[in-house]
């Protein structure tokens, strides 16, 4: 079945450094979503990318969708301690019965920030 | 704001017990999902439902069943709990075309099976 791979698994940075997490799918995606989960919290939707080559920004966060719609990245400029958490990408895939779509999540990247 | 409420934040059960995890959403969403989250494994889909009384297996349905008798409520059932089902369980909902819409997650239920 379709797989969504995310790297790195962990990233520790000094406050003020940049951070990037990468997401790769084994199949072409109609869209990709990004979520953030704070420690002890639940995943919260950040953004959805739909178009090939799309770039979206949210303050210090930049999201990209690859031209082939099989990969995506999230880049954080000048990290802050409030950025700590696990970042997940997720893409749609057909369920085993082939009749319905579901979201498949990457395993996430845990970001820790040293103040 | 969408609210997804899971009935328990923490739950401790014994091996062999039947366990019910309840989830309620207040936004009239068609789609509801149950995921489990384990360190290093990310979020894995157990079951989902696109309509009342409808259910579909996700990636790891073994040992679980679900019930959706009303649109707003989606229950996860562990027929006979085992220690390998100790995990964080997350319920989520989304409007129609769920794969194209953001998921709204509940706060999670941390289940420990002893």
Q: What is the pLDDT of residue A89?
A: 96
CB-closest option in B33, B41, B98 to A107: B41
**By CA distance, what is A108's nearest residue in B?**
B42
Per the CB < 8 A criterion, the answer to whether B14 and B26 are in contact is no
Whether B49 has a pLDDT exceeding 70, the answer reads: yes
β partners of residue A11: A111
Residues of A with Cβ-Cβ distance to B59 under 8 angstroms: 1, 104
Q: What is the pLDDT of residue B101?
A: 83
Q: What is the pLDDT of residue A1?
A: 63
- Helices and strands of chain A, counted as H and E runs: 0, 11
- At residue B88, φ and ψ (nearest 5 deg) are -95, 130
Residues of A with Cβ-Cβ distance to B45 under 8 angstroms: 102-104
pLDDT under 70: residue ranges of chain A? 1-2, 95-100
A92·B99 Cβ contact <8 A:
yes
- Better pLDDT: B51 or B68: B68
Best CA proximity match to A92, nearest among A64, A63, A70, A115: A70
Residues of B with Cβ-Cβ distance to A96 under 8 angstroms: 57
Chain A contact present for B40, CB below 8 A: yes
- pLDDT (average), residues B49-75: 94
CB-closest option in B45, B58, B102 to A48: B102
- pLDDT (average), residues B63-84: 97
Q: What is the pLDDT of residue A114?
A: 95
CB-closest option in A6, A102, A106 to B99: A102
- At residue B93, φ and ψ (nearest 5 deg) are -140, 160
- pLDDT (average), residues B93-101: 77
pLDDT tier, B98 (very low <50, low <70, confident <90, very high otherwise): low
pLDDT tier, B40 (very low <50, low <70, confident <90, very high otherwise): confident
């Amino acid at each position: 079945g379709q797989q969504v791979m995310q790297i790195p698994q962990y990233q520790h940075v000094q406050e003020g450094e940049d951070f990037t997490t990468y997401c790769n799918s084994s199949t072409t995606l109609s869209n990709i979503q990004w979520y953030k989960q704070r420690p002890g919290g639940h995943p919260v939707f950040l953004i959805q990318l739909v178009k090939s080559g799309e770039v979206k920004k949210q303050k210090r966060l930049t999201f990209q969708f690859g031209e082939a719609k099989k990969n995506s990245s999230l880049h954080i400029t000048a990290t802050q301690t409030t950025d700590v958490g696990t970042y997940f990408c997720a893409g749609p895939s057909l369920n085993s019965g082939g009749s319905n779509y579901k979201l498949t999540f990457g395993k996430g990247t845990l970001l820790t920030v040293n103040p | 704001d969408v609210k997804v409420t899971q009935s328990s934040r923490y739950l401790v059960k014994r091996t062999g017990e039947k366990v019910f995890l309840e989830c309620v959403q207040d936004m009239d969403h068609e789609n509801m999902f149950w995921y489990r989250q384990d360190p290093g494994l990310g979020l894995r889909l157990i079951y989902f439902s696109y309509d009342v009384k409808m259910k579909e297996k996700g990636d790891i349905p073994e040992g679980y069943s679900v019930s959706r008798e009303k649109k707003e409520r989606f229950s996860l059932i562990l027929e006979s709990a085992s220690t390998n089902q100790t995990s964080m369980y997350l319920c989520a909902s989304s409007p129609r075309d769920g794969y194209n819409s953001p998921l709204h997650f509940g706060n999670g239920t941390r289940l420990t099976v002893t």
